[in-house]
Amino acid sequence: MQIGRKIYYDNRTGEVLADTGQRSGSVRETTREEDFATYLRLAERTPESVWVIQLEYDQYKQDFEEGVLERIDPDTKELFFNYAGPIDPEAPKEPRKPLSEEVDMLKQSDIENKQAIAELTMMIAAPMV
């Protein structure tokens, strides 16, 4: 069985309070009550002040490997990661959307650009009547 990570966060600020991590093998899904009993930062809070996002197994895998989840936008439920820079890994950076989503958007943009170039090339190459 494969279980994706659960991210618990403050429902006002989006501050990440707990990340259960993803699990596989002989595992079972934990309940909200079990998680509140297991994670100290959750146990210190009232359940009404905490929301949770359940991710699929390996969802945002590369983002979690290369960055740190900084916060979740409480309104849009978007995840924002901080990716350490190669020059000064300790320097604070502005959290950003997952790189995996940005890469997907760039790939789509690249496909659209190539299609537009092909159409323009055909128009230019077409004989004038």
**pLDDT per residue as tens digits for the range 14-40:** 999 999 999 999 999 999 999 999 999
- Give the model's pLDDT for residue 110: 73
Residue type, 111: I
- Give the model's pLDDT for residue 128: 60
DSSP annotation of 48 reads G
Q: Whole-model pTM?
A: 0.67
Around 96, how many Cα atoms within 13 Å sit in the side-chain half-sphere? 16
Residue type, 68: V
CA distance 86 to 35: 35
Percent of the chain with pLDDT over 70: 84
Nearest residue to 64 via CA among 104, 15, 24, 100: 100
